[in-house]
Amino acid sequence: MKKNVIVGQSGGPTAVINASLYGVVYEALNREDSFGTVYGMINGIEGFLNDRCMDMKPLELSGELELIKTTPGSYLGSCRYKLPENLDNPVYATLFEKFHAMNIGYFFYIGGNDSMDTVSKLSRYAEKTGSDIKVIGIPKTIDNDLVETDHTPGFGSAAKYIASTVREIGIDASVYDNKKSVTIVEIMGRHAGWLAAASALARKFDGDNPVLIYLPETDFDQELFLKKVAEALETTPNLVVCISEGIHDKNGTFICEFSSDIGVDAFGHKMLTGSGKYLENLVKDRLGVKVRSIELNVCQRCSSTMLSGTDQKEAIASGAYGVQCALEGETGKMIAFKRSSDEPYTIDYVTADVNLICNQEKTIPLDWITKDGTDVSQEFIAYAQPLIQGEVNVPTEKGVPKFAFRK
């Protein structure tokens, strides 16, 4: 009897997380000789525990599956549910009883670090109990902070959005040249500065905006920041500064914590916001120049208008490759990218042990950051440039994007 497939999405969405979903579903549906029904978990593993699933086949028959490729957000819905550390917890027996009842033989989870933790725990429980369910992780995260892979689906499109938007902001800031002004752009990134670093791709020439870029990989000094801003204003009167939301001082205190108390999310992570506004007020008070702060916020991960063709292609391929690997008997693995060349840009799809990935974090190499901590090197540019290439034609309806959605 053919085993069934189930796939879910977890954590924060990206512009291409549904492209990965498409890759899994399309590949599985087109291997009818190997698989039975292809199910989708509504709201991830948490929804599955509450018996919320859907048959994915009708999406192919209706044409909705094709729309998923260019739809942002998580089509199946998401969750931030952390499985217990103790594999003897009853929730695991409950999950596997449900898998058995639905004849599930293949489990795919699309997500970032916390999602790979789920893949690790489920695959270890399967091994412990002798279950033959194959458990595979499909990577996603705009933060680009998963280890054991060159990069992650979602980062390329977010980087393209950031580079394009910062270039637009820089052009807008330059229209008046009679007064000095500072525009501070706050970009997502808790401990890893990949997204803020991508703002360097906005530059049209050496010395162009953003002149200063601050990342959480190095300590942030407020006095040195003010000095750098004052110096930069002498040559660039309409200055653009890009910062990661997670910049912190030498004591590890997030800069946003100086302006207000911050809460925590379901996983206990501090919810960072306000670094840009704090620095706006600091510059205004200390330097007395016109200053504004802009927080790109959720647009970095949900914009479909600047999808990277490379990113979408790799997201689809990673989902499809995950299905192929599971069919070959692999389990407890995450699909990863191995780069062999920057120019011409080439990668191979491989698998990596998910136990080496979950609960780890990949930050920007320090030698890709200038010694004064205000910019990135050419090595970063060479790394990131290929990931934002290629345009994607997003279907439209009455002048706005046409997206797939669950009724």
Q: Judge whether residue 260 has pLDDT over 50.
A: yes
Whether 143 has a binding-site annotation, put simply, is yes
| Residue pair 96/124 in contact by the 8 Å Cβ criterion | no
Architecture of domain 4-154+306-360+389-401: 3-Layer(aba) Sandwich (3.40)
| Residue pair 185/242 in contact by the 8 Å Cβ criterion | yes
Q: Two tokens at 258?
A: 């100086």
How much is the pLDDT for 271? Answer: 53
Distance CA 13, CA 157 (A): 12
Whether 41 has a binding-site annotation, put simply, is no
* pLDDT > 70 in the chain, percent: 96
Residues in the chain: 407
pLDDT in tens, 192-231: 999 999 999 999 999 999 999 999 999 999 999 999 999 9
How much is the pLDDT for 54? Answer: 98
Whether 141 has a binding-site annotation, put simply, is yes
Residue whose tokens read 């306000």: 274
User: For the residues 158-162, what does the mean pLDDT come to?
Assistant: 98
pLDDT band at 179 (very low <50, low <70, confident <90, very high): confident
pLDDT band at 28 (very low <50, low <70, confident <90, very high): very high
Distance CA 185, CA 196 (A): 9
Among 116-125, 225-234, 297-306, the minimum mean pLDDT is found in: 297-306
* pLDDT > 90 in the chain, percent: 90
pLDDT band at 407 (very low <50, low <70, confident <90, very high): confident
Domain ranges within the chain, ordered by starting residue: 4-154+306-360+389-401, 155-301
How much is the pLDDT for 106? Answer: 98
The partner residues of 181 in beta bridges, in order of sequence, read: 238, 290
Local structure of 111: helix, strand or coil: strand
User: What is the distance, to the nearest Å, from the Cα of residue 41 to the centroid of all Cα atoms in its chain?
Assistant: 20
Whether 142 has a binding-site annotation, put simply, is yes
CA dihedral 383, 385, 390, 391 (to 10 degrees): 130
User: For the residues 60-86, what does the mean pLDDT come to?
Assistant: 96
Within this chain, domains 4-154+306-360+389-401 and 155-301 share the same CATH topology: yes
Q: Which of 114, 117, 143, 145 is catalytic?
A: 143
Distance CA 29, CA 23 (A): 10
| Residue pair 111/148 in contact by the 8 Å Cβ criterion | no
Distance CA 129, CA 361 (A): 30
pLDDT in tens, 315-352: 999 999 999 999 999 999 999 999 999 999 999 999 99
pLDDT in tens, 349-370: 999 999 999 989 999 999 999 9
β-pairing, 104-111 vs 53-55, is unpaired
Rounded to 5, what percent of the chain is helix, strand, coil?
40, 20, 40
Residue 332 DSSP code: S
Q: Judge whether residue 251 has pLDDT over 50.
A: yes
Whether 379 has a binding-site annotation, put simply, is no
Q: Has 143 been annotated as catalytic?
A: yes
Distance CA 384, CA 142 (A): 13
pLDDT band at 272 (very low <50, low <70, confident <90, very high): low
Among 106-120, 148-162, 255-269, the minimum mean pLDDT is found in: 255-269
How much is the pLDDT for 1? Answer: 81
Q: Judge whether residue 262 has pLDDT over 70.
A: no
End-to-end CA distance of the chain, in Å? 32
| Residue pair 272/190 in contact by the 8 Å Cβ criterion | yes
How much is the pLDDT for 263? Answer: 47
Count other C-beta atoms under 10 Å from residue 305's C-beta: 13
Among 267-271, 279-283, 291-295, the minimum mean pLDDT is found in: 267-271
For 155-301, CATH number out of 1.20.120.450, 3.50.50.60, 3.40.50.460, 3.90.1720.10 equals 3.40.50.460
Whether 190 has a binding-site annotation, put simply, is yes
Amino acid, res. 316: I
How much is the pLDDT for 69? Answer: 96
pLDDT in tens, 88-114: 999 999 999 999 999 999 999 999 999
User: For the residues 32-58, what does the mean pLDDT come to?
Assistant: 97
Whether 189 has a binding-site annotation, put simply, is yes
Residue whose tokens read 């525009």: 183
Q: How far is CA 63 from CA 20, 58, 67, 218, 403, in A?
A: 17, 9, 7, 48, 12
